[in-house]
Structure 1
Amino acid sequence: MQLILAEKPSVAKNIADALNVKGKKDGYYEGDNFLITWAFGHLLELYDAKDYDSKMARWKMDNFPFIPSSFQYKVKSNPKDRSKPDWGVQKQLKTVHQLMKRTDVEAIISACDYDREGQLIGDSIIYKQKPKKQVYRLLLNEWTPEGVKEGMNRLRPNQELRPLLDAGMSRQWADWVIGINLTSVATLKYQKGKGKALNIGRVLLPTLKIIYDRDKEIEQFKPEEYFKLTAAFKTKDGETYEGTYIEEKQEKFNDQNVLTRIQDAVTNKDANVIDKQVERKKEFPPYLFNLSNLQGFITNKFKGWSSDKVLKVAQSLYEKKLITYPRTSSIALDESLVGKTAKVLKVHSENLPYKDEITFKKSKRVFNNQKVESHSAIIPTYMKPKQLTRDQEIVYTAIKNRFIMQFMPIAESEQTLLKTKVDAEDVNGYFLTKGKVQIVEGWKKVDHIQSKDVILPKVNLNDQVSVVDAKVSSHMTKPPKRHTEKTLLKVMETCGKSYKEEEDAGEDSSDEEMLGSILAGFSIGTPATRAETIKKLKDIGYIKADKKNLICTPLGKRLVESFPIPELFDLEFTGRLEKTLSDIEKNRVKKDQFLDLVFSFTSDSVEKIKQAEDITINEIKSSKNSNEVLGKCPVCGENVVDSYVAFSCSNWKKGKGCSFAIWKNDKYLASMKKKPTKTMVKSLLKNGRAHVKGLTSKKGKKFSAYLKYEKDPDKKYFSWKMEFK
């Protein structure tokens, strides 16, 4: 009997289906040869600081830096009460460990995601039990039945994946140490008032700095006026075309008078076509998606999408066996996947109107081991979807279409350049005209991409034409565009290195290809974490979204301009840390070297913050309590007033022991997206119940109800009751 541990219940179900394991038990599946169980992502988490030392329960500047001599794990905490373990997680962990101890289990197989986080999830659960049985690793890029069976035939000893675990632990421990220490001392030093902490993170701050820098460029930008001269020419057949005046390779002029003089000189004059170049250009399809490019494509094309949402939808498609592993940085496929890819293409080409144009070929653009970093690019699997949500359909169609494009004919266009010289004195330049006609639509058919043709009249070299109009136009230089999630993801992926954005992939994406190989591992965050970083920056109030644009908030600006640890904003510094984690995965760098660097940096940073100038970066103004009497306490008869965190009995405030309170963060009300109000509390105290509108059900529907807040006769505490009449 072999025990297989999957990362999630849905993946365990996929494995069970593939291996024909039918017996569903409490927390696992059982068949003749396999037991299949699951985690819920991380079942174990690192100790909180107070778990190591009780004095860390309160933040005091003297307690930092705090770096444990060894890192320990505990059962994941209950999100509603972090002092207690999560009951469901604790139960599942016990199930997994009991299965590991079964005498009929000969080997354990970790089937968590094939990345450093998946390795950490599986190993932390398995090795907490100190098993004496052999542990293997199932490494898959997709959860199709075929993929699972193939993977089971090439299991690897789990010990071979030790570098991947080291990278996962290094990332986790480093982020814990930097986060706990610098968030704590920064909050103590730079924040006034009680509230959310001033969040400091290894990946958060450089990402914030990217947006800050762009905002600063826009703020400091001074628009400048420039001028262009365009002329309209008539051919001998009476057709017209336009050209832009070029002199010494320049088409923008600062001095309007220069162009006005030329305008006067060319008006109503004859001209000659002095050069005509016609070139047939190939337009290659954009590369296969990696996660960042997929997120950029979707967030740019569809309203209301965030990169975090794209990842969640892609993950759901992966767990439904419809796409390959989404958290990848690669834009090509491993060369070993040639046969499998041909089968996938055949499945998805069957009913397409242009299926006769689809030809499978093994090209270096698609199959290239040098462009694969851990995981291949995202493509559909051979399984066709039966039912998708609207969101899933958007992401799935984008991935499928990008895949099919690779095997369609290369698009071709005919591009024409005309140079027209006017017969006039003191006019040294010429007028340039560009034309483009799509000759072969090719891969553009897949996404219905319409090329904008600029059709020129029939004009030949040395033809004589005449100037029928000439205009000088005024223009203003434009500031850089604000960052969107698409552009931000690209900068994070390349750590700020310059790149040529491939909007429609009109030419071969050689720059993108080069970056893929040179910058492997040198980035801000990983494909899996970048979306989460952007979401967190919004949630903690360092940036905000204005439609598609991302903008630094005043708090974010103050943090960048005042926080005294410049390395944390430095893309190069962060990129080197991420590159070192990548090198740990590849067994080129040892975990302890990296952690020593991080611990030393953290200790130095804490001391710098302590010695830095006392300033306020964030001030949280507490809402002053009105001391308005809302009613009489149902327990002792004293006044109920508005305190900072609750509507509570004044005897409780005076320390006389009455515990009646309606908490402002009441979890029952929060579950229906409501908070208690003064009006609600007044009605409860006066009438015994309050009519509450705008409550939200679990299915997201709004409703109204009467709420009562009554003491349970058998217990000491009050609880809510709902009525509809």
Structure 2
Amino acid sequence: MRLILAEKPSVAKNIADALKIKDKKDGYFEGNGFIITWAFGHLLQLFDAKDYESKMARWKMDNFPFIPEEFKYKVKSNPRNRDVADSGARKQLKIIQYLMRRNDVELVISACDYDREGQVIGDSIINNLKPNKPVYRLLINEWTPDEVRRGIDQMKPNELMQPLQDAGISRQWADWVIGINLTSVATLKYQKGSGKALNIGRVLLPTLKIIYDRDKEIENFVPENYYKLTATFQTVDNNAFQGTYTEGKTEKFKEKQLLESIQNQLSDKQAIIIDKQVEKKKEFPPFLFNLSNLQGYITNKYNGWTSDKVLKVAQSLYEKKFITYPRTSSTALDDSLVGKAANVLKTLSESLPYKDEIKFMKSKRVFNSAKVESHSAIIPTYMKPSRLSGDQQLVYTAIKNRFIMQFMPIALYEETKLITKVSDIEAKGLFHSKGKVQLVEGWKKVEKIQSKDILLPLVQKSDQVNVVDSEVSSHVTKPPKSHTEKTLLRVMETCGKGIKEDDVEEIMGGVLTGFSIGTPATRAETIKKLKDVGYITAQNKNLASTELGTKLVETFPVHEIFDLEFTGRLEKTLADIEKGSVMKDEFLRVVFDFTRKSVETIRVDQAGIINQLTSTTISREPLGKCPQCDGTIIEGKKGFGCSNWKSGCKFVIWKNDKYLATMKKKPTKTMVKSLLTNGTAYVKGLASKKGNKFNAYLHYEKNPSNDYFSWRMEFKK
């Protein structure tokens, strides 16, 4: 028997399906010479500080810095009570231990995700249970049956994954040490009042600084006026076109009078076309998606989407076998995937109206092993989905379309440039006109991308034209735009290097690999956490630092932690550990020294309190009668519930109600009172999946089959 350990139950089911194993038992599948069991992500977590020393249960400045001599693991905590182990995790660990020690199990296969985190999840369980049997690693990029079977045929000994494990452990230990120490001392030093910590993190604070810096650029921006002169010319055929007055390369002028004096000379003047250039230009499709580009594309195009949501939806598509591994930084495919990509393209293009234009080619833009770091770009698999949720369909379609675009004809347009000189005027400059006509739509057909043609009349060099109109227009320089998740992800991915938007996708495939803020897997989580801890706020798509976030950047004395270069170097070192070119201990020594120095810097800092927490008291006013037992409904910390809950009444409306959360709402006292009094509440400002606002009547009604309640929505004219 061979024992396979998957990262999640859904992945274990995919492996069982691929190996045609139907027999499911308590915590595992068995059949055809295999046993397949699973974790629930991390079953083990690092000790809390108080697990090492009891004195660490209380935060005192004298207790820090605290760096364990040896890092230890325990069963992961119950999310509702961190002081006790999660019973589900403990039970599953016992099942895995029993299976590993079975006499008929000859080897163990770790089938957790092929990345740092997956390596740590698998190794922490296996090393903790010490099976004393050979351990192998399944290294695959998708969960389709063909790929699972191929992966099992080509497994590698797990000891070859030591650099990957070292990188994963280094990241985990470093973030624990920096987070525990700096969060504790910062909270003690700069915050008054209890309730929550002042979060300090290796990736959190440089990301906050990116948003803070942009806010300051906008705040300090001084608008300036500038002016443009546009002339309208008429050909002998009575066709009109416009030209913009340009001196050298400048078409924006600070002195209005200069342009007005030229404009006064233009009336009824003749002009001549002194130059005409016609050039055909190619437009290549955007590169295949890596995770950051997919997150940027979706959050920018659709309202209500966050990077975190895009990752969750992409992860679900991966686990359902419809796309390849999503947490990738690459925008190209490994050369070994040529045959597989051709097969996928053939399957996906069968029913498309433009299928005759799709042609498989092995181009360097798509297939380039030199630009693949660990995992290839995200593409669909050969398995076509039949039933997807609306969110899954949207993300899947984006990935599928981006893949198909690579094999459509290159789009082609014709650009025409005219230079017109007005006769008999005292001016150094000339009038420039630019036209554009799409000749071949090509890959733009896939997403029906409309090209804006700018038509110029058919004129030739030396043709005479007349000036028929002119205008001096006023303009104001605009401040930089607030960061969105799309632009923030780009800065995190490129570590703030000044890279043009058009170049970023290609460059990210190679030059800057590893030198970034966070990883594709963690960036979305970082942005979400910044919102959750109150350091940034999101208005529509725009991100801005809050008052607390601003104070933290301006007060916190450990300046290196805000520095993109410093954080980028740490991330680059982790990537080098993964490649085996840097040792784990070397990296950890740097992190531990930084932590000790930082704690001392905070300890002697003279800055005062930056965050004053006030305790929020919850009134116990009766909100209405319980529809279940005639008890009284009152507000609690986590919801609006019945005063008879100790007697078994289950009526409650949770403050984080998932149904309302999908529409960007939380229950309020007013809403609850209305539901209890009238049986319905009229709620304004609900948000649809696309982000559109609407109003509706909500009912909270008992399920006929059990004691719980569910929502019903109604629209009345």
TM-score (norm 2): 0.89
- 8 Å Cα contact 2:638-2:656 kept in structure 1: no
- 8 Å Cα contact 2:29-2:37 kept in structure 1: yes
- 8 Å Cα contact 1:693-1:704 kept in structure 2: no
1:158 aligns with 2:152: no
Determine the structure 2 residue equivalent to 1:594: 587
Q: Deviations over 1:686-723 (max 9, x none)?
A: xxx999988x9xxx9851689xxxxxxxxxxxxxx989
Determine the structure 2 residue equivalent to 1:518: 511
Determine the structure 2 residue equivalent to 1:556: 549
Give the Cα–Cα distance (whole angstroms) in 1 for the partners of residues 127 and 576 of structure 2: 24
Classify the secondary structure of the residue corresponding to 1:202.
Answer: coil
Q: Deviations over 1:594-644 (max 9, x none)?
A: 111101100110010010014111111224799x999xxxxxxxxxxx999
Offset of residue 425 of structure 1:
3.0
- 8 Å Cα contact 1:646-1:662 kept in structure 2: no
Determine the structure 2 residue equivalent to 1:195: 195
- CA 1:338 to 1:644, structure 2 compared with 1: closer, same or farther past 3 Å? closer
- 8 Å Cα contact 2:227-2:474 kept in structure 1: yes
Determine the structure 1 residue equivalent to 2:628: none
Determine the structure 2 residue equivalent to 1:452: 452
1:337 aligns with 2:337: yes
Offset of residue 32 of structure 1:
2.7
Give the Cα–Cα distance (whole angstroms) in 1 for the partners of residues 637 and 443 of structure 2: 60
Determine the structure 1 residue equivalent to 2:662: none
Give the Cα–Cα distance (whole angstroms) in 2 for the partners of residues 618 and 344 of structure 1: 54
1:229 aligns with 2:229: yes
Determine the structure 1 residue equivalent to 2:700: 703
Determine the structure 2 residue equivalent to 1:127: 127
Classify the secondary structure of the residue corresponding to 2:197.
Answer: coil
Give the Cα–Cα distance (whole angstroms) in 2 for the partners of residues 463 and 424 of structure 1: 16
Letter in 1 for 2:516: S
Offset of residue 667 of structure 1:
11
- CA 1:570 to 1:477, structure 2 compared with 1: closer, same or farther past 3 Å? same
Classify the secondary structure of the residue corresponding to 2:509.
Answer: helix
Determine the structure 1 residue equivalent to 2:688: none
- 8 Å Cα contact 2:331-2:505 kept in structure 1: no
Classify the secondary structure of the residue corresponding to 1:5.
Answer: strand
- 8 Å Cα contact 1:669-1:676 kept in structure 2: no
Among 532, 549, 567, the residue aligned to 1:539: 532
Structure 1: 5+ residue stretches without partners: 503-508, 631-641, 648-659, 683-688, 707-720
Structure 2: 5+ residue stretches without partners: 623-633, 658-665, 684-696, 711-717
Give the Cα–Cα distance (whole angstroms) in 1 for the partners of residues 25 and 588 of structure 2: 42
Determine the structure 2 residue equivalent to 1:294: 294
Determine the structure 1 residue equivalent to 2:351: 351
Q: Deviations over 1:527-580 (max 9, x none)?
A: 000001000100111001010100110000000000001111000000000000
Determine the structure 2 residue equivalent to 1:9: 9
- CA 1:499 to 1:676, structure 2 compared with 1: closer, same or farther past 3 Å? closer
Give the Cα–Cα distance (whole angstroms) in 2 for the partners of residues 320 and 424 of structure 1: 72
Letter in 2 for 1:531: A
Give the Cα–Cα distance (whole angstroms) in 2 for the partners of residues 338 and 566 of structure 1: 47
Determine the structure 2 residue equivalent to 1:138: 138
Give the Cα–Cα distance (whole angstroms) in 2 for the partners of residues 227 and 208 of structure 1: 37
Offset of residue 512 of structure 1:
3.5
- CA 1:155 to 1:50, structure 2 compared with 1: closer, same or farther past 3 Å? same
1:100 aligns with 2:95: no
Classify the secondary structure of the residue corresponding to 2:510.
Answer: helix
Letter in 2 for 1:620: L
- 8 Å Cα contact 1:693-1:705 kept in structure 2: no
Offset of residue 268 of structure 1:
1.3
The count of residues paired between Structure 1 and Structure 2 equals 670
Give the Cα–Cα distance (whole angstroms) in 1 for the partners of residues 5 and 58 of structure 2: 38
Offset of residue 513 of structure 1:
2.1
Letter in 2 for 1:413: Y
Classify the secondary structure of the residue corresponding to 2:333.
Answer: coil
Give the Cα–Cα distance (whole angstroms) in 1 for the partners of residues 636 and 352 of structure 2: 64
- CA 1:423 to 1:26, structure 2 compared with 1: closer, same or farther past 3 Å? same
Determine the structure 2 residue equivalent to 1:608: 601
Determine the structure 2 residue equivalent to 1:481: 481
- 8 Å Cα contact 1:15-1:145 kept in structure 2: yes
Letter in 2 for 1:471: E
Determine the structure 2 residue equivalent to 1:409: 409
Equivalent residue runs for 1:145-224 within 5 Å: 145-224=145-224
- 8 Å Cα contact 1:194-1:620 kept in structure 2: yes
Letter in 1 for 2:510: S
Give the Cα–Cα distance (whole angstroms) in 2 for the partners of residues 105 and 644 of structure 1: 51
- CA 1:705 to 1:365, structure 2 compared with 1: closer, same or farther past 3 Å? closer
Offset of residue 516 of structure 1:
2.6
Classify the secondary structure of the residue corresponding to 2:265.
Answer: helix
- CA 1:578 to 1:87, structure 2 compared with 1: closer, same or farther past 3 Å? same
- 8 Å Cα contact 1:7-1:112 kept in structure 2: yes
Classify the secondary structure of the residue corresponding to 2:108.
Answer: strand
Give the Cα–Cα distance (whole angstroms) in 2 for the partners of residues 546 and 680 of structure 1: 24
Give the Cα–Cα distance (whole angstroms) in 1 for the partners of residues 635 and 339 of structure 2: 69
Determine the structure 1 residue equivalent to 2:269: 269
- CA 1:398 to 1:673, structure 2 compared with 1: closer, same or farther past 3 Å? closer
Give the Cα–Cα distance (whole angstroms) in 2 for the partners of residues 723 and 222 of structure 1: 56
Give the Cα–Cα distance (whole angstroms) in 2 for the partners of residues 475 and 676 of structure 1: 46
Q: Deviations over 1:277-335 (max 9, x none)?
A: 00000000000000000000000111110010000000000001000000000000000
Offset of residue 428 of structure 1:
1.2
Classify the secondary structure of the residue corresponding to 2:129.
Answer: coil
Classify the secondary structure of the residue corresponding to 1:304.
Answer: coil
- CA 1:478 to 1:9, structure 2 compared with 1: closer, same or farther past 3 Å? same
Determine the structure 1 residue equivalent to 2:74: 74
Classify the secondary structure of the residue corresponding to 1:174.
Answer: helix
Among 562, 565, 572, the residue aligned to 1:572: 565
Determine the structure 2 residue equivalent to 1:381: 381
Determine the structure 2 residue equivalent to 1:685: none
Q: Deviations over 1:126-170 (max 9, x none)?
A: 111112110000001000000001101100000000110111111
- 8 Å Cα contact 2:700-2:709 kept in structure 1: no
- 8 Å Cα contact 2:295-2:307 kept in structure 1: yes
Offset of residue 646 of structure 1:
11
- 8 Å Cα contact 1:680-1:690 kept in structure 2: no
- CA 1:589 to 1:692, structure 2 compared with 1: closer, same or farther past 3 Å? farther
Give the Cα–Cα distance (whole angstroms) in 2 for the partners of residues 115 and 8 of structure 1: 15
Give the Cα–Cα distance (whole angstroms) in 1 for the partners of residues 604 and 542 of structure 2: 37
Root-mean-square deviation (CA, aligned residues, Å) is 3.0
Give the Cα–Cα distance (whole angstroms) in 2 for the partners of residues 18 and 403 of structure 1: 25
Give the Cα–Cα distance (whole angstroms) in 2 for the partners of residues 702 and 105 of structure 1: 55
Letter in 2 for 1:487: T
Give the Cα–Cα distance (whole angstroms) in 1 for the partners of residues 575 and 709 of structure 2: 57
Give the Cα–Cα distance (whole angstroms) in 2 for the partners of residues 256 and 196 of structure 1: 57
- 8 Å Cα contact 2:163-2:580 kept in structure 1: yes
Give the Cα–Cα distance (whole angstroms) in 1 for the partners of residues 280 and 168 of structure 2: 50
Equivalent residue runs for 1:609-628 within 5 Å: 609-623=602-616
Give the Cα–Cα distance (whole angstroms) in 1 for the partners of residues 284 and 250 of structure 2: 30
- CA 1:82 to 1:443, structure 2 compared with 1: closer, same or farther past 3 Å? same
Determine the structure 1 residue equivalent to 2:714: none
Give the Cα–Cα distance (whole angstroms) in 2 for the partners of residues 233 and 690 of structure 1: 72
